[in-house]
Amino acid sequence: MELEKFINHLKVLVEYERKAEIEAMRAEMKRLSGREREKVGRAILGLNGKIIGEELGYFLVKYGRDREIKTEIGVGDLVVISKRDPLKSDLVGTVVEKGKRFITVALETVPEWALKGIRLDLYANDITFKRWIENLEHLHEGGKRALEFYLGLRDPEESEPVEFDPIDKSLNASQRRAISQALGSPNFFLIHGPFGTGKTRTLAELIRQEVERGHKVLATAESNVAVDNLVERLAESGLKIVRIGHPSRVSKHLHETTLAYLMTKHDLYSELRELRVTAQNLAEKRDTFTKPLPKYRRGLTDIEILALSRRRRGTRGVPAKLIREMANWIKLNKLVQKAFDDARKLEERIAREIIQEADVVLTTNASAGLEVIGYADYDVAIIDEATQATIPSVLIPINRAKRFVLAGDHRQLPPTILSEKARELSRTLFEGLIERYPEDSAMLTVQYRMNERLMEFPNREFYDGKIKAAPGVKCITLTDLGIKCPNFGEPWDEILKAGNVLVFIDTSKHPEKWERQRRGSESRENPLEARIVAETVEKLLEMGVKPEWIGVITPYDDQRDLISSLVPEEIEVRTVDGYQGREKEVIILSFVRSNERGEVGFLKDLRRLNVSLTRAKRKLIVVGDSETLSVHSTYKRFIEFVKAEGRFVEIGNDFKTNGG
């Protein structure tokens, strides 16, 4: 497909996805009452607010209530604020802090109504899609070249590995090799970093080496968390780093790296503050006069009003006093506009200087489209999480630089796409390039996360057996954390013993094993598996395993909600998609599917299985129906692997859980 056609095709796909996302959010707001939406964690009702301060040009409003707030809405999320109907409100803010009974939101303006009897709703983010489209419409050489490589319309130049002296001496051979090749790539390079292989550490070293060579770096990732991880790695490096992004979306302890903070330390900042105060004072003075709205000015232009005022006359039923009022407003408004304009120009000058002096500018892919990023030219764009980002998303930073490096793992989950029509967007640039040009990639092959036995199956199945466990993690178990042997009797002792790092609890012989669907839901749940998970959690806690060491994963939203209602609040329960990039000492995995038809649904996407199996560090307990799962060959191999290398525990009629 030729380039222009493909770019237009991408724009169409983005539009489909934008509509699907807004539709999904609006449909839910319509379908569910406020109460129901609060129940699923996407709304908070009955809030009163008060303005508690101003930060970096935003008002901070602390919303609270007497009842505890349980919600999925988190710091950095966009929320819509309304009295009753969120679909009729256009007041949108960003969450900056969250406590048990309060949530603080940053808003550009605070109307009086927005402080009493309020509801907050999680909102779809339209800005991202707008930036994708805008960037596709203004692709420079860098962005177009990347797509030509992807489409096979041109081949990359050959690269020569570059010798370098590592600043981080603890890098392993595969990490050094990847950096050496990336430094020598004239067009692009791909770093394939499977689970726990130290991808962020490798990228931090690559960034430092690029700067050593006099290159200016733009470093991005799909999520704020991943950008912050990079900032954290670079914080002590002595490099001049600037983190671009709404301060509320940046980890608190990294605030001093943000552009907003660095501006307050600039020599010209006091002058900027004075200009803003002047503008504010003038605006307040202006607003004591009557604004010349159409109903007052009766068709008179500003020039006519000023002329009449000088002659102290009225006209067309507009009294002289009102003419004078409006003339004062017009004169002061000119001064207000000029003061705000001067402040904006000075603000831009300060930001420009900071960006131009920086060695590394870090932000999310979407925010790489901000005007402020364009205040400098970049030699290289280094993009983390590239396998979780769509092509339009990674093209934003790529479009800003002469060459690019993508890091990710195409064997894990791709970006989530809601629209059936836009399904193609889940194929990433990384995936397309690594298939076409495997020689322009390097794989990190030592993992530092998990016990060797937990690594073995995914390593064989998804990575051709290329991954090795670092000596420090090879044999780690819960015993190292001081966890004693269980004493609950069988089968629990076999399930929970620290030395049994991989356990499969098989429900296939249990009469209550079946999955079910809630009315009106596309999702699935499995009450027996949920009860087994809850009891497993309870017993682990009794053994002294800390709540923050335990994670529960399940592929289905409804099962997540069911399990969440049965386990203590401190236990993190998420879907597989929500667990990518995370790890816990112990993971309990509920597969849910159990039916006579042998249907496994979207468990067929083996990238989902890979993510599920690679989050645990010391122990993985899997709950599932081996009969249903074994219909799929990979799951069958997994179950056989557990029987040979782990513990396979069959439970039957005599197995009782607390809830049933």
Whole-angstrom distance, CA of residue 514 vs CA of residue 570? 28
Tokens of 317: 């039923």
Residues whose CB is less than 8 angstroms from the CB of residue 5 and which lie 6 or more positions away in sequence, other chains included: none
* Predicted TM-score of the model (pTM): 0.87
Please report which confidence band the pLDDT of residue 208 belongs to, taking 50, 70 and 90 as the band edges: very high
pLDDT tens readout for residues 69-109: 988 888 777 899 999 889 889 899 988 888 889 999 999 89
Asked if domains 139-239+364-444 and 452-650 share a fold, the reply is: yes
Residues whose CB is less than 8 angstroms from the CB of residue 77 and which lie 6 or more positions away in sequence, other chains included: 94, 95, 122, 123
Res. 195: pLDDT tops 60: yes
Tokens of 82: 């309304």
Phi/psi-derived region of residue 595, left when phi > 0, alpha when psi is between -120 and 50, beta in every other case: beta
Q: How far is CA 540 from CA 471, 483, 556, in A?
A: 27, 9, 23
The domain 139-239+364-444 having CATH identifier 3.40.50.300: the answer here is: yes
Bridge-partner residues for 619, per DSSP?
586
Whole-angstrom distance, CA of residue 147 vs CA of residue 6? 9
Q: How far is CA 375 from CA 47, 57, 137, 371, in A?
A: 41, 21, 20, 7
Q: How many residues does the chain have?
A: 660
Neighbours of 320 (CB within 10 A): 14
Identify the CA nearest to 381 among candidates 76, 134, 140, 125.
140
CA torsion sign for 255, 406, 367, 18 is negative
Q: What integer pLDDT is reported at residue 25 of this predicted model?
A: 84
Q: What integer pLDDT is reported at residue 515 of this predicted model?
A: 96
What percent of the chain shows pLDDT beyond 90? 79
Task: Identify the burial level of 472 via C-beta atoms within 10 angstroms of its C-beta, where 0-12 means exposed, 13-18 middle and 19 or more buried.
Answer: exposed
Please report which confidence band the pLDDT of residue 501 belongs to, taking 50, 70 and 90 as the band edges: very high
Q: What integer pLDDT is reported at residue 653 of this predicted model?
A: 80
Q: How far is CA 15 from CA 9, 132, 421, 526, in A?
A: 10, 10, 10, 36
Whole-angstrom distance, CA of residue 491 vs CA of residue 650? 9
Q: What integer pLDDT is reported at residue 658 of this predicted model?
A: 64
What 8-state DSSP symbol labels residue 595? -
CATH class name, domain 452-650:
alpha beta
Q: What integer pLDDT is reported at residue 316 of this predicted model?
A: 77
Q: What integer pLDDT is reported at residue 53 of this predicted model?
A: 83
Q: Which runs of consecutive H residues, i.e. helices, occur in 32-140?
A: 34-39, 126-137
Please report which confidence band the pLDDT of residue 236 belongs to, taking 50, 70 and 90 as the band edges: confident
Bond into 491 cis (ω within 30): yes
pLDDT tens readout for residues 120-149: 998 877 778 989 999 999 999 999 999 999
Mean pLDDT of 344-356: 95
Which of 5-19, 209-223, 291-305 comes out lowest in average pLDDT? 291-305
Bridge-partner residues for 51, per DSSP?
61
Tokens of 254: 């990294």
Q: What integer pLDDT is reported at residue 253 of this predicted model?
A: 82
Under 8 Å between Cβ of 457 and 613: yes
Tokens of 375: 């205040």
Domain boundaries, the chain: 36-127, 139-239+364-444, 268-354, 452-650
Tokens of 91: 């007041």
Res. 481: pLDDT tops 90: yes
Q: What integer pLDDT is reported at residue 402 of this predicted model?
A: 97
Res. 659: pLDDT tops 60: no
Question: What is the three-state SS of 500-546?
Answer: CCEEEEECCCCCCCCCECCCCCCCCECHHHHHHHHHHHHHHHHCCCC
Mean pLDDT of 237-256: 86
Res. 660: pLDDT tops 60: no
Please report which confidence band the pLDDT of residue 332 belongs to, taking 50, 70 and 90 as the band edges: very high
Whole-angstrom distance, CA of residue 259 vs CA of residue 376? 14
> What is the phi/psi pair of residue 105, to 5°?
-125, 140
Q: What integer pLDDT is reported at residue 460 of this predicted model?
A: 98
CATH code of 36-127, in short, is 2.40.30.270
Whole-angstrom distance, CA of residue 547 vs CA of residue 490? 23
Whole-angstrom distance, CA of residue 106 vs CA of residue 109? 9
Average pLDDT, the chain: 93
Mean pLDDT of 336-362: 95
Q: What share of the chain is helix, strand, coil (3-state, %, to 5)?
A: 45, 20, 35
